[in-house]
Amino acid sequence: MVFEAPQVYRPDVSGWRRERVPRLPDESPIAIRPDWVCEILSPSNKQNDLFKKLRTYQRCQVPHTWIVDPEVEVLAVYRWTAEGYLLVTTAEGQERVRAEPFDAVEFSVRSLFVGDEDDPGE
């Protein structure tokens, strides 16, 4: 995705609200700012995700950004405001959370890594 020309980033996961982008664009890289991005930290890329990419997402006014650290099972949820990113919530392990912009659904952070632990079929 093009956030700031000529900078192109590839978030680990990204999404757009259907009312804003009813169909995923065919262009590559995508030039439409996402409504949500998620960065999954890895030891080799942690600094880049936590600082460089997060600052760029903030400058480009990405409404919601998640930072997920699978090593320690932590989720940090940020919401864009005119003053910059606001840390809305953090959660870890089996803690259950309703995380923006998907706050209609409750889940545990652990379920992001191992699936739904409440599902007996798992």
Q: 12: pLDDT confidence band, cut at 50, 70 and 90?
A: very high
Q: What is the pTM of this model?
A: 0.88
How many angstroms separate the first and last alpha carbons of the chain?
35
Report how many domains make up the chain.
Answer: 1
Q: What CATH number does residue 91 fall under? A: 3.90.1570.10
Classify residue 52: in a domain, yes or no: yes
| pLDDT tens-digit map of 21-39 | 999 888 888 889 999 999 9
On whether residue 4 sits in a domain, the answer given is no
Domain that holds residue 104: 37-114
Please report which confidence band the pLDDT of residue 121 belongs to, taking 50, 70 and 90 as the band edges: very low
Who has greater pLDDT, 95 or 29?
95
What does 101-113 look like in DSSP terms, one character per residue? T-TTS-EETTHHH
